[in-house]
Amino acid sequence: MTVEIKTTQKRILLDHEKLTVYQVAIEFVILSDEVIEHLPRGRAYLSDQLQRAALSISLNIAEGAGEYAIDEKARFYRMAKRSATECAGILEVCQRLQLIEEGRYIKGRELLIGIVSMLVKMAQKQH
């Protein structure tokens, strides 16, 4: 016997899920996964580094959004920004080595520039 439970409640969002920067960071995780899938064998060092840094952006934003202490909140946003700039560096290496499609490179940079811009404002707002 299967019981179906229907709910009429709206989905309750956690603090980080309400942030545009978090949503864009998740979009970058998806794009970075596509980049990683297309990297040739022998480039595991780039794959691993991009995967960790991309995920670190969204996870640090989530931790910062859930933090009450102002200094800690700003610290998490600064760590997320550093991970975003690390991702930009990795994409640049991939582009210079001709390992990434130009369209993905451009889209990745656009996402990262937006993320960094939002995080700088968020970190400064905390002080």
The DSSP secondary structure of 2-61, one letter per residue, reads: -------SPPPPPGGGG-HHHHHHHHHHHHHHHHHHTSPTT-HHHHHHHHHHHHHHHHHH
**Whether the model pTM is above 0.75:** yes
Domains of the chain: which residue ranges?
A: 16-125
Give CATH for domain 16-125.
Answer: 1.20.1440.60
pLDDT score recorded for residue 7? 55
pLDDT score recorded for residue 8? 57
pLDDT score recorded for residue 125? 81
The series of mean pLDDT values per 10 residues for the chain, 127 residues long, is: 57 92 98 96 96 98 95 96 98 97 98 98 83
pLDDT score recorded for residue 10? 77
